[in-house]
């Protein structure tokens, strides 16, 4: 069992698993759309390879089918108790927003189907927690994570895209672990950096209740 942080995009992704009790990193894997990029991670890298098509719609469907099969295998292999995913940024151009939504749906449903509790974090909250700035660049987030959690520095030996994805995936898993510790009373808000406290206390128009006031998402009904 593990807390799984999952950073997902159409052509690349990363997953990092933490031990729920110790927060030790127990597993990680990344997906990338180049064979050389996948080989760089040895058994940790997975090549996103699917039949290409000149028909754009068929091409997109082939990619989605690849992801569906990969997600099924990945979740069964990782067996997470909790899954933390970065929510949509809603900045995609053209119809790619719909494609991201389709893939995001598969990732969310996959987590629920294996019995994991699911938490979504908006991109600004992720940056605030990891780099203590909601406007941090990907590189600033990477550097902050390397500084705060030295175990992640090994990601720097991988392709840049994989490094950035793994850093965020690790951070998401750490956010999940922190929330569980807060709920269990083993950690207090006053133990955290003010920006991290803001992540757990902030409300928005979409979320009028703070994070700690909302339960993790999970299967709550019996399928027909």
- For 132-159, b where at least 16 C-beta lie within 10 A, e where not — what string? bebebebeebbebbbeebeebeebeebb
> Residue 93 is encoded by which pair of tokens?
């151009």
Residue 132: inside a domain, yes or no? Answer: yes
At 1 the pLDDT is 84
At 91 the pLDDT is 56
State in Å, rounded, how far the first CA of the chain is from the last one: 28
Residue 220: inside a domain, yes or no? Answer: no
pLDDT tens for each residue of 122-149: 999 999 999 999 999 999 999 999 999 9
Of 68-77, 87-96, 199-208, give the lowest mean pLDDT range.
87-96
| 216 has pLDDT over 70 | yes
At 221 the pLDDT is 67
Residue 190: inside a domain, yes or no? Answer: yes
At 206 the pLDDT is 78
| Helix spans in the chain (H) | 35-40, 56-78, 96-113, 123-131, 138-148, 160-184, 194-201
| 29 has pLDDT over 90 | yes
Which residue has tokens 């108790």?
81
At 110 the pLDDT is 96
153-159 average pLDDT score: 97
For the chain, the average pLDDT equals 94
Using CA atoms, how far apart are residues 67 and 61, in angstroms rounded to an integer? Answer: 10
At 223 the pLDDT is 61
Residue 8: inside a domain, yes or no? Answer: yes
Q: Which of left, alpha, beta for 185 (phi over 0: left; psi -120 to 50: alpha)?
A: left
User: Please, which residues bridge with residue 12 across strands?
Assistant: 32
> Residue 132 is encoded by which pair of tokens?
């203590």
Chain-centre distance of CA 201, in angstroms?
21
- DSSP letters of 104-138? HHHHHHHHHHTT-EEEEE-HHHHHHHHHS-TT--H
CATH of the domain at 17: 3.30.420.10
29-34 average pLDDT score: 97
Residue 223: inside a domain, yes or no? Answer: no
Which domain covers residue 189, as residue numbers?
Answer: 3-213
| 160 has pLDDT over 80 | yes
| 90 has pLDDT over 80 | no
Residue 47: inside a domain, yes or no? Answer: yes
The total domain count for the chain is: 1
Radius of gyration over every alpha carbon of the chain, rounded to an integer in angstroms: 17
Mapped onto helix, strand or coil, the DSSP state of residue 2 is coil
| 193 has pLDDT over 80 | yes
Residue 219: inside a domain, yes or no? Answer: no
- Has this prediction a pTM greater than 0.85? yes
Residue 224: inside a domain, yes or no? Answer: no
Quickly state the pLDDT bin for 18 (edges 50, 70, 90): very high
């Amino acid at each position: 069992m593990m807390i799984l942080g999952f950073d997902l995009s159409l052509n690349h992704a990363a997953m990092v698993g933490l031990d729920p009790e110790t927060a030790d990193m127990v597993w990680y894997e990344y997906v990338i759309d180049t064979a050389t990029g996948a080989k760089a991670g040895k058994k940790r890298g997975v090549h996103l390879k699917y039949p290409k098509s000149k028909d754009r719609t068929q091409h997109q469907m082939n990619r989605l089918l690849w992801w569906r099969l990969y997600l099924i295998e990945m979740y069964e292999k990782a067996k997470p108790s909790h899954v933390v995913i970065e929510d949509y940024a809603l900045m995609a151009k053209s119809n790619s927003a719909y494609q991201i939504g389709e893939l995001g749906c598969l990732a969310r449903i996959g987590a629920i189907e294996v019995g994991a509790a699911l938490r979504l974090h908006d991109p600004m909250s992720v940056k605030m927690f990891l780099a203590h700035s909601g406007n941090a660049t990907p590189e600033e987030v990477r550097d902050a994570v390397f500084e705060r959690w030295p175990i992640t520095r090994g990601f720097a030996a991988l392709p840049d895209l994989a490094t950035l994805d793994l850093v965020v995936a690790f951070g998401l898993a750490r956010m999940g672990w922190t929330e569980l510790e807060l709920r269990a009373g083993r950690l207090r808000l006053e133990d955290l950096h003010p920006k991290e406290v803001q992540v757990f206390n902030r409300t928005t128009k979409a979320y009028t209740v703070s994070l700690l006031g909302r339960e993790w998402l999970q299967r709550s009904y019996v399928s027909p």
